[in-house]
Structure 1
Amino acid sequence: MVDVKTVLLNYKIGGNISIKKINSGRTSQVYQIISNEKTWILRTLRDETQGLLEFEITNHIREKAKGIVPRIICTKEGHPFVKAGSDLYQLQEYIPGQTPPRNKEVHSIIGKVTGQFHSAMESFESNRNQRDRFHLMELWEMAQEKWESLRKYSPDIVPNLQDMESKIDELAIVSEHQPHFIHGDLGTWNMLFDHEGIRIIDFGESRKGHFYFDLATAITSSIPEACDRRTQQQSVFDVLKGYETHREKIETDRLYTYIELWIYRGVLATLAYTNTAEQAVSHFVLLKQMENLLKK
């Protein structure tokens, strides 16, 4: 096991260092680092491609849209991460804040920040790319044998196997349209909100894709659940209007297709990795909700 204090010797971050582990996920360990100079975040990376691509993307965004992403700190030798045994570590600025609350003012800011991010990324280019770890067809292969059981659990909302196969084929074609680099996981769980606005964090899933995929994720994760349809519709409107202050007018039907892509991925990932029928069905409930908000 790597000693985190040994990793930190590669950085100029001051003394009197304290270390607190704040997250342990399937693919990353995250630590809060406090020194006599500042607070930082140290996280593990999957591989060098992730580390280099994240560094390129965040530097590009910081030049084009200041203040919406944290800075990645280079080592004393100028490297964007540290190799320690078989592990890779990345140090970045600590950004205080919380997950954005689901209210009118914040929905507009979510749209604006997402639009700023996409405007910046339109000119970004890299020879690197990451594979989609939740590729639709791969998820379908893993979840297909569990489909009939899910349909029995909720036959009124879960499509039959034949209809599902047709939808997967349709969305697989959509997912292959990849004109730009995207965040890849731009839900509110990867946004931090405070009095200065919203910052976007964790570019670990960044890859080539379509901007509407990010926007679909931002919308579906930010819409309030326990409220009336009119309030929810206004929330979607506020996100889209905020987005359009930095981008072109939204093609609603096309956006809905990417909402379908995001939600169907969620259904299949739930079946593939947790096999939780109730949670999988909740994705279909959300999809119906989004259809009512965007297409009626």
Structure 2
Amino acid sequence: MKIIDSVAKAYSLGSVRHLQALHNGKTSMAWQVEATTGRYIVKTIQSQKQAVFEFAVSNAVRQRSLELTPEILLSIACQPFVVIEGQTYQVQAFLSGTERPPSLRETLKSYRQMRQVLDQFDYSFSPPDSMPLAVLWRAHREALSEKKPVLFHQIAAMVPELKRIDQSRDAWIHGDLGKWNLLVTNSGQVVVIDFGEARLGPKLLDFAALFQGFMPKNKQDLMAYLNEFLALSGIQITDRHLFLMTVQLWLVKGLLIVINEQASLAGVFQNAIELVSSLV
């Protein structure tokens, strides 16, 4: 791919020996690149402004600990991006993850370190939410009503409160902290990747995403899991209701995104929403 060759040249990576397309994210495409100087991740970025912002966030996190997130590299022009044929590209150091899934304790330990950085982070620009609840609700409420009428009425009653949470801008967040953005290294360190959805947003949204990622499927295990999660995360008992409603926000947005195209995944979100409703 000639464009990747041009990216490699702009970053002085050497000759590209092997190129593998990776699963595309919400806002970008990515490739694993093996060059003469090593392995890298090359991804598209929406804009130069976004690229500089992602570099600033990840660099702040890495100042806390180099193990928390991969390094975003600078080009030979000392910029955290390169523009080729009108498209902005970014290059990251490649981290090899293990097959071992992350544990809840290890994940929350890493995220709480990152949370300390994000609580002190200061930046003049915040990207918008790429999928706000108000937009998703307008676009998919009819489909939800037709396919899952009982669930529709349950969610409709929550929507006003969920919108208020979704519109809050009280903390810097990763914004897409599902298990797909976690890696476990050989040393057992949980690493967070892809700041493409980072922004100002609801303060507990990242915790909500992690809660869903480790949530048990059985209702009888849910209360013990909630108590363990609150203890490990440091979330105060006074924020319990806000946290659970933020979990519902994360789940409802996920459901609306998949309702028309992925029936089996919609069922997973439905089950999770009903389980969390028993805790609220």
So what's the TM-score if we normalise by structure 2? 0.89
Structure-2 residue corresponding to 1:108: 105
Q: What is the CA–CA distance in structure 2 between the aligned matches of 1:224 and 1:91, rounded to whole Å? A: 36
Q: 2:232 aligns to what? A: 242
Identity of aligned residues (%): 22
2:247 aligned residue = 259
Gaps of 5+ in 2: none
CA distance in 2, matches of 1:147, 1:224: 25
1:217-244 per-position Cα deviation (integer Å, ceiling 9, x unaligned) = 011012344x6733x5554444433323
For structure 1, the residue ranges without an aligned partner over 5 or more in a row are none
Contact 1:100–1:188, Cα closer than 8 Å, also in 2: no
Superposition pairs for residues 1-296 of structure 1, below 5 Å? 3-15=3-15, 17-25=17-25, 27-98=27-98, 101=101, 106-152=103-149, 155=150, 158-160=151-153, 164-196=155-187, 197-225=189-217, 229-230=220-221, 233-244=223-234, 251-271=239-259, 274-292=260-278, 294-295=279-280
Matched to 2:180, the amino acid is W
Deviation at 1:122, TM superposition (A): 0.6
2:204 match: secondary structure: helix
Amino acid at match of 1:240: L
- Asked if the contact 2:166/2:249 (under 8 Å) is kept, the reply is yes
Residues 29, 43 of structure 2: 8 Å contact kept: yes
Partner-residue secondary structure (3-state), 2:120: coil
Deviation at 1:79, TM superposition (A): 0.7
Q: Report deviation, 1:23.
A: 2.8
Superposed CA offset, 1:114-167 (max 9, x none): 111111101111111111111000001101222331235xx4xx142xx54442
Count of residue pairs the alignment pairs up = 279
Shifted more, 36-45 versus 178-187: the winner is 36-45
Measure, in 2, the Cα distance between the counterparts of 1:93 and 1:233: 40
The answer (yes or no) to whether the contact 1:107–1:235 under 8 Å persists in 2 is: no
Give 1:37 shift: 3.0
Q: Classify the secondary structure of the residue corresponding to 1:67.
A: coil
Q: TM-score, normalised by structure 1?
A: 0.85
CA distance in 1, matches of 2:131, 2:99: 24
Q: Distance in 2 between matches of 1:66 and 1:205?
A: 21
Does structure 1 conserve the Cα–Cα contact (< 8 Å) formed by 2:248 and 2:276?
Answer: no
- The Cα offsets for residues 227-280 of structure 1, whole Å up to 9 and x where unpaired, read as 6733x5554444433323xx7677222210100110111121123xx3444433
Separation (CA, whole Å) in 2 of partners of 1:16 and 1:133 = 33
Query: RMSD between aligned alpha carbons?
Result: 2.5
SS in 2 for 1:34: strand
* Secondary structure, aligned partner of 1:27: coil
CA positional deviation for 1:200: 0.3
Instruction: Mark the CA change 1:111 to 1:24 in structure 2 (over 3 Å): closer, same or farther.
Output: closer
| Higher RCO (CA < 8 A, seq sep 6+) | 1
Give the match's secondary structure for 1:73: coil
